Structure 1
Amino acid sequence: MMDKQLSKIIPPTEMKLSIPEYLLASCPSAIARLQYLLPNIEFQWDSTELICIGPEDTNWADVRQEIYYTMYRAKIRNEGAAQRVALFDAVFGR
């Protein structure tokens, strides 16, 4: 959520991003991370679009870059989960 005092001073603006299909499964975990990385931005997600609401002085190019970086990071983490478990089991003999 955007800081209530800040929202009274600076009117909010928004950015909408269409999320590619191959990143949709990564959205929930990416948004959870983005909420603490970008605390002045409010994220609203439906099935294919991410709406970001923030102060007027927000650098949306930087926010967009951080969003896609975080989504790709979540995608790689999700895809590598099985390999990490197998490696952990092999090394530590679970």
Structure 2
Amino acid sequence: MAKALLLMALCLLLTLATVSHPVKDPLKVEGKVYFDTCCANFETFATTYIADALLVSSPQADCAIASPSRDRARVIVTSYNSITSSNRYVS
């Protein structure tokens, strides 16, 4: 019984030490939001980039509809994938 209690205490201590460890270099996700002026569903020379915009809303009244195929992006948010930078880029 004492060994089991000691083992549980050791596991709890290791778990607390792992969880409380701060991340030394947090990951940063960056991306761009743009207004598709040509309705081409890709960036062109006439593309207007929108600062401080969320995909659910836009500061420009004529740019309120998100393209169904470009309304989200998958980002690999881990440090264990051979990417040396802490930045992750989304288009």
TM-score by length of 1: 0.29
* Structure with a larger share of its residues in helix: 1
* Structure with a larger share of its residues in strand: 1
TM-score by length of 2: 0.29
Bigger CA radius of gyration: 2
